[in-house]
Amino acid sequence: MKHITDFVIENRTQLGEQYFSLTLRHPGQLPPIAAGQFVEVEVRHCREVLLRRPISIHDVDAERNTLTLLIQIVGKGTRQLSELKVGEELNLVYPLGHGFSVEGKRPLLVGGGAGIAPLFHLAKCYQAKGVVPTILLGGRTKELIPVRDAFGQYGKVCYATEDGSLGEKGLVTQHTAFAGDYDQICTCGPTPMMKAVGRYALEKGIPCEVSLENMMACGIGACLCCVCDTDEGHKCVCKEGPVFDVRRLTKWLEATK
Amino acid sequence: MAKLETKIHNIVLKNPVMTASGTFGYGEEFADFINLSRLGGIIVKGTTGERRQGNPYPRMAETPAGMLNAVGLQNVGVATFCKEVYPRIKDIDTNILVNVSGSSIEEYCSVAEQIDELDNIPGIELNISCPNVKKGGMGFGTNPEMAAQVVSEVRKVYHKTLIVKLTPNVTSVVDIAKAVEQAGADSVSLINTMLGMAIDVERQRPYLSTITGGLSGPCVKPVAVRMVWQVAHAVQIPVVGLGGISCAADALEFLMAGAKAIEVGTANFLDPAVTVKIVDGLQDYCQRHHIDDINDIIGII
């Protein structure tokens, strides 16, 4: 069941220059939210922004009825959202899309940049099932990995940075932990990274889910704007995804764009 | 309570608020947010003879007070619609209309004929105005003779209410409206999207894979109101107005300009419950202005 609700901003944290997080309190009881699902956020008071912005759900606290969004400032909409203050309301359409399956016994979670956002809730869901995931986070520099230490409570965390400022120097796919023994890989981040991870998993026969981020309008499968060219044809990332099994995406994995 | 009921040819609408094709899926996508039976009608996704994949991604770009789309009639095709989709939606207590699209007169006729068989579909909206397909679509809707030809052929095989959806991308929308009226249309709806384009200057590329696309949203509303007003004064058949409607006041502009009903499009993306808010807003307006019947203000301008 999807909802439209005015949440109240309970906390705002700046995470380096490009990122911030908003913790939002539901006025009543928060419905169940799967890891990998997202919200469509209304952007008020910005004449250049018409559409809602799709933002993945970073954390959920069912007891406190709060959810947290981790947002990268990339354009006018997210810049406007970055100016919101504690106590202000934020209207969400949520929870949207199809999340991660949380079925691995030895899962690897691979995140890059803002793509680490949904992996936090995912790691927490794994912990709730008594599974300790390996969490591999990457970025060009340490600063571009917006959340680091907090992951430590839910899994074994490793880092890969291109400049070597944190963890091993290089890409996530070059990290020693990447080639470990896993029965499930979940990834979210820049497209080239997800494709590299997806191709590797497909080649090794490891079940793998990727979370795609396409430009969206409605977020609920009505406008058909956000399609991915899957092996079964164009599918809405907002409704059939954002999380897809890579076995449905072999065409997408091969495409250079 | 004011009477909000209106009529488009033989179709009785419990209120003038319908949803625009391509912005409301098959209605089901919105069932979590609103009671669909509160709508005057739902016009479902443009349906063609065969399943279509539509245009490559990216197919959407946000523009000031609007958006461009180039979806290109992605749909399941008429056979799957009749077999799989129709049974799921046929008992929704509102008027379910099908937007019929095609690349040739034969395709329009074939789709219309198959939809004619469906008991709970009281009418079609013939889409001769889609700007996002290479063949057909807007090609039929920009020329009065072509428009009349496709309408008269569909008229021969389709026996229920035939609404023809017009494009604004013409010099005289009135000429097209008159031509389709003469050819047997029961109603016209307007406007479809306006052909537009946007460029990402940083990447030095168009935003859309198709370069051009259809502009919709609040930015097109004044153009749409003007065209509805012009057409409503030029034809005898009922006019359905759409283009940038996102609140009751917007809907009222179209009604006053002469539309018997309206369609809400892009606004469904911003607020999935906007349609029922518009219905409530029309009722409030009527009470505030002591109007007993919404028909009393239709075409007052």
In 3D space, the residue among B5, B8, B65 whose CA is nearest the CA of residue B39 turns out to be B5
Residue B293 is given by DSSP the state B
Contacts with A204 (C-beta within 8 Å, 6 or more apart), sequence order: none
Contact status, residue B107 vs residue B49, Cβ threshold 8 Å: yes
Residues B205-219: tens digit of each pLDDT: 999 999 999 999 999
Q: Alpha-carbon distance A52 to A176, whole Å?
A: 40
pLDDT at A87: 98
Residues B55-75: tens digit of each pLDDT: 999 999 999 999 999 999 999
C-alpha angle with apex B66: B219 to B53, nearest 5 degrees? Answer: 130
Residue B264 φ/ψ, nearest 5 degrees: -105, 130
Rounded mean pLDDT of A122-141?
97
Q: With 80 as the cut, is the pLDDT of residue B176 above it? A: yes
Return mean pLDDT, chain A: 96
Residues B70-91: tens digit of each pLDDT: 999 999 999 999 999 999 999 9
Residues A178-211: tens digit of each pLDDT: 999 999 999 999 999 999 999 999 999 999 999 9
pLDDT at A222: 97
Chain B residues in contact with A228 (beta carbon < 8 A):
57
Contact status, residue B34 vs residue B180, Cβ threshold 8 Å: no
Sign of CA dihedral B26, B30, B34, B35: positive
Q: What is the three-state SS of chain A?
A: CCEEEEEEEEEEEEECCCEEEEEEECCCCCCCCCCCCEEEECCCCCCCCCCCEEEEEEEEECCCCEEEEEEECCCHHHHHHHCCCCCCEEEEEEEECECCCCCCCCEEEEEEHHHHHHHHHHHHHHHHCCCCCEEEEEECCHHHCCCCHHHHHHCEEEEEECCCCCCEECCHHHCHHHHCCCCEEEEECCHHHHHHHHHHHHHHCCCEEEECCCCCCCCCCCCCCCEEEECCEEEECCCCCEEEEHHHCHHHHHCCC
Rounded mean pLDDT of B95-101?
97
Chain A residues in contact with B205 (beta carbon < 8 A):
none
Residue B26 is given by DSSP the state T
Alpha-carbon radius of gyration of chain A: 17
Preceding amide of B237 cis, omega within 30 = no
pLDDT at A257: 61
Nearest CB partner across the interface for A218, out of B32, B62, B268: B268
Contact status, residue B125 vs residue B21, Cβ threshold 8 Å: yes
Cβ–Cβ pairs < 8 A, chains A and B: 93
Alpha carbon A9 to its chain centroid, in Å, reads: 20
Contact status, residue B234 vs residue B176, Cβ threshold 8 Å: no
pLDDT at A111: 97
In 3D space, the residue among B20, B5, B32 whose CA is nearest the CA of residue B192 turns out to be B20
Contact status, residue B237 vs residue B181, Cβ threshold 8 Å: yes
- Of the pLDDT bands very low, low, confident and very high (cuts 50, 70, 90), residue B136 is low
Q: Strand pairing partners for A25?
A: A8, A66
Q: Alpha-carbon distance A25 to B19, whole Å?
A: 32
Residues B253-287: tens digit of each pLDDT: 999 999 999 999 999 999 999 999 999 999 999 99
Rounded mean pLDDT of A122-150?
95
B96 SS3 class: strand
Give the gap in angstroms from C-alpha B277 to the nearest C-alpha of chain A: 13
- pLDDT > 70 in chain B, percent: 98
Chain B residues in contact with A6 (beta carbon < 8 A):
none
Q: With 80 as the cut, is the pLDDT of residue B134 above it? A: no
Contact status, residue B264 vs residue B21, Cβ threshold 8 Å: no
pLDDT at B221: 98
Contact status, residue A158 vs residue A168, Cβ threshold 8 Å: yes
Check residues B137 and B1 and name the one with the higher pLDDT. B1
pLDDT at A219: 97
Residue A252 φ/ψ, nearest 5 degrees: -65, -40
Match domain B6-297 to its CATH number in 3.90.79.10, 3.30.70.141, 3.20.20.70, 3.40.50.2300: 3.20.20.70
Q: How many CA atoms lie within 13 A of B225 on its CB side?
A: 19
Check residues B200 and A149 and name the one with the higher pLDDT. B200
Rounded mean pLDDT of B39-57?
97
pLDDT at B137: 67
B125 SS3 class: strand
Rounded mean pLDDT of A146-157?
93
Q: Is residue A28 less than 8 Å (CB to CB) from chain B?
A: no
Domains in chain A, CATH or no CATH each = 3-96 (2.40.30.10), 107-211 (3.40.50.80)
B66 SS3 class: strand
Residues A13-43: tens digit of each pLDDT: 999 999 999 999 999 999 999 999 999 999 9
The residue in chain A having the minimum alpha-carbon distance to the alpha carbon of residue B63 is A48
Interface touch A223/B269, C-beta < 8 Å: yes
Helices B144-157, B173-182: axis angle to 10 degrees equals 30
User: Domain coordinates of chain B in residue numbers?
Assistant: 6-297
Q: Is residue A234 less than 8 Å (CB to CB) from chain B?
A: yes
Interface touch A221/B25, C-beta < 8 Å: yes
pLDDT at A40: 98
Chain A residues in contact with B45 (beta carbon < 8 A):
224
Q: Is residue A74 less than 8 Å (CB to CB) from chain B?
A: no
Q: Strand pairing partners for A136?
A: A110, A158
Q: Is residue A179 less than 8 Å (CB to CB) from chain B?
A: no
- Burial class (CB within 10 angstroms; exposed 0-12, middle 13-18, buried 19+) of B203: exposed
Contact status, residue A185 vs residue A108, Cβ threshold 8 Å: yes
Q: Is residue A45 less than 8 Å (CB to CB) from chain B?
A: no
pLDDT at A191: 96
Interface residue of B60, B205, B220 to substitute, partner A, most A CBs within 10 Å: B60
Chain B residues in contact with A93 (beta carbon < 8 A):
33, 272
- Note if B130 is an active site residue: yes
Give the gap in angstroms from C-alpha A8 to the nearest C-alpha of chain B: 18
